[in-house]
């Protein structure tokens, strides 16, 4: 069995996230990161309410291999150096890289609303 036969698909990843109770709404990409020549699939994960003015997002990258995913993360780390920006929570599994763009501070990022559900989904995929 080759590495590519073990690759995850976007459908499998989104199904796993939805199983953990994350409502995902496909977003049009305006200026999302291109990592190692792979475009993101961006989803908003929160509905706007009176109390919640800013959306949170999940960017899902599906690479051709685990090696390509590692290069994609390296690419992200290199690109973000030129920006003063909120750092997303980063999740890696097989050929998948997930960036969770939340509104918590860096010190409180582990308490972001969808952190635990994303971690649980990745363990079950």
pLDDT tens for residues 35-66? 999 999 999 987 655 455 678 899 999 999 99
Mean pLDDT confidence for 83-112: 90
Alpha carbon separation from 112 to 37, 39, 68, 69 (Å, rounded): 29, 24, 27, 24
Does the structure show a pLDDT above 90 at 90? yes
Q: Is the pLDDT of residue 86 over 70?
A: yes
pLDDT band at 22 (very low <50, low <70, confident <90, very high): very high
Query: How high is the mean pLDDT of the chain?
Result: 88
Higher pLDDT, 109 or 31: 109
DSSP the chain: --GGGGPPPHHHHHHHHHHTT---EE---SSPPEETTEE-EEEE-S---SS--S--EEEEEE-SSHHHHHHHHHHHHHHHTTS--PPPEEEEETTEEEEEE-SS-GGGGGGSTTHHHHHHHHHH-
pLDDT of residue 84: 74
| pLDDT for the residue numbered 4 | 66
Q: Which two tokens stand for residue 6?
A: 């073990």
Phi/psi at 11 (5° precision):
-60, -40
- Between CA 64 and CA 71 the distance in angstroms is 11
Q: Any bridge partners for residue 35, and if so which? A: 38
Percent of the chain with pLDDT over 90: 62
Task: Give 71's pLDDT tier (boundaries 50, 70, 90).
Answer: very high
Query: Across residues 1-26, what is the average pLDDT?
Result: 86
């Amino acid at each position: 069995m080759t590495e590519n036969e073990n690759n995850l698909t976007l459908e499998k990843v989104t199904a796993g996230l939805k199983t953990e109770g994350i409502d995902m709404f496909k977003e049009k990409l305006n200026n999302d990161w291109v990592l190692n020549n792979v475009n993101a699939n961006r989803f908003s994960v929160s509905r706007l309410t009176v109390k919640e003015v800013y959306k949170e997002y999940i960017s899902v990258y599906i690479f051709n291999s685990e090696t390509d995913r590692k290069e994609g993360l390296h690419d992200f780390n290199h690109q973000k150096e030129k920006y003063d920006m909120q750092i997303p929570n980063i999740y890696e599994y097989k050929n998948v890289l997930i960036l969770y763009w939340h509104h918590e501070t860096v010190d409180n990022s582990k308490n972001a609303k969808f952190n635990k559900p994303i971690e649980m989904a990745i363990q079950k995929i």
